[in-house]
Amino acid sequence: MRVLRYLIYLWNAKVFGPFLIRLNLWLNARREKGKSRWNQEILSPPLKISYRNKELVAMHWLEGRYANLGKKVVWITSGAPVELFKALDFFVLYPENHAAICGTARVAVDICSEAESAGYSRDICSYARTDFGSMLSGKTPVGKLPKPDLLVTCTNICQTVLSWYRVLAHHFDVPLIIIDTPFVYHRQAADHAIEYVVKQLEDAIPVAEKVAGKALEQSRLEEVARLSKQATELWMEIMKRNTHCPAPISVFDQFIQMAPIVEMRGDAITVDFYAAMLQEVDDRIARGIGAVVEERKRLLWDNLPIWYRLRYLAELLGQHGIAIVASTYTNAWGELAHLIDPSKGLRSMALSYTYAILNRGTGHKLETMTRMIHEFQLDGVILHSDRSCKPYSIGQMDQRDRLIREHNTPALLLEADHNDSRAYAEEQVANRLAAFIEMLE
């Protein structure tokens, strides 16, 4: 029976399913050929590598649909040490990534409502509510989510994940690994804090091995860490290319193209993808192609994207020659590449995951923004005050004021929610952006 289940998994996830995905993408490309989905007078055509991104993401979620037939499955927070579980051959699913797909597909509100009907408050993070709603109803735009065999959460992004994953553990009745990363109040974390994280990783290994049914091989862990480092370095290089004027890609492009660095970190295909993307970005620079056709002003975006209004914001700003060329959010997935050292095993892992941007003080984020203002030659900042992501949004009013007062940089605080469109006021956003654009001009 196990052999039959595995053969079904291979056929659907690795053979017939991928064929259907590629055929569907090819047919869609044929249908869309010559039909512009963007205003070519405002925005340049999308990256050609976007086709490959769609394929990778579709393949990932296709495998997830059948993963329980052939692999052990771990659900994990985006800031958790995924390399450990990749090395044990788990299929890795990020509920946050799934929630973002729901937001982009504009089905998040419907799914969140399922959670709210079950008693979960609208004050809870909209990613968590999307996850709970999908868990309870089975609703998802990706077909089907696999049942987890193991849950892993790390506190370096927020404290919400503790309660979030305890709910999941209770519902699915599976083991839960918690990695607690002490908050970094100063520039350096204390040695005992790093050792505390290392000890937790050591304790996590036998639990993960038991679920995986296999022992962790050091050589495999080093290989996954090496691939993770390479992909992260390539992602950072791609973002650095936006120091060029005009910027070859926008942050809206980055929000879409960041999917592999989040949900496929540690895979060889992710390294290949970003190597190809870097080549295309360099080609754009050589040909003088900018993301915004007539770039006149350059901005920074702080916090998560507003997934359901990406195109609207890109076109609205593009009409005025405004390109958002840098983001603290996309930067967070590349800035710690230098801390990844495959030869140093768990200690390197503890360092790189402890220093995540949301596990550090608001002063660090302000320093990051001011550095990026100079490095990317920016004219202003938009701070998304995200109703759902309080750890990212805390301190933004003070950061805005200091950017204006101390760095002479125009800054706008824009209130919304990254996934729940009910917390998004179209007229208010439009009015605030119009006033900000007028000030920039």
Strand ranges of the sheet holding 380-386, from the earlier edge strand across to the other edge: 322-327, 297-302, 380-386, 411-416
Place of tokens 């350059």: 298
- Between CA 397 and CA 404 the distance in angstroms is 11
pLDDT in tens, 18-51: 888 888 888 887 777 766 666 778 999 999 999 9
What number is the average pLDDT over the span 156-163?
A: 94
Q: How confident is the model at residue 210 (pLDDT cuts 50, 70, 90)?
A: very high
| pLDDT the model gives residue 177 | 98
- Whole-number pLDDT of residue 109: 98
pLDDT tops 90 at residue 249: yes
Confidence class for position 7, pLDDT limits 50, 70, 90? confident
CB of 19 within 8 A of CB of 58?
Answer: no
From first CA to last CA, the distance across the chain in angstroms is 68
Q: Tens of pLDDT along 55-114? A: 999 999 999 999 999 999 999 999 899 999 999 999 999 999 999 999 999 999 999 999
The pLDDT tens digits for 167-183 are: 999 999 999 999 999 99
- The DSSP 8-state label assigned to residue 37 in this structure reads S
Q: What is the pLDDT of residue 20?
A: 86
Distance of CA 149 to the CA centre of its chain: 23
Q: What is the predicted pLDDT for the residue at 65?
A: 96
Confidence label for 12 from pLDDT (cuts 50, 70 and 90): confident
Could you report the per-residue pLDDT of 126-135, keeping only the tens digit for each? 999 999 999 9
* Nearest of 356, 357, 374, 227 to residue 300 by alpha carbon: 374
Distance of CA 229 to the CA centre of its chain: 16
Every domain of the chain and the residues it spans: 2-29+42-440
* Distance of alpha carbon 318 from alpha carbon 297, whole angstroms: 10
Nearest to 231 by CA among 198, 259, 201: 259
Using an 8 Å Cβ cutoff, are 401 and 372 in contact?
no
Alpha-carbon separation of residue 172 from 117, 126, 210, 399 (angstroms): 20, 21, 17, 41
Q: Nearest to residue 76, comparing CAs of 14, 198, 168?
A: 168
Q: Mean of the pLDDT values across residues 140-167?
A: 96
* Model confidence at 352: pLDDT above 80: yes
Please provide the DSSP assignment of 144-200 as one string: -PPPPSEEEEETTS-SHHHHHHHHHHHHHT--EEEE----B-SSS--HHHHHHHHHH
What global pTM score does this model have? 0.95
DSSP state of 73: E
What percent of the chain clears pLDDT 90, i.e. is strictly above it?
89
Average pLDDT of the chain is 95
What is the spatial distance between Cα 255 and Cα 395, in angstroms, rounded to a whole number? Answer: 23
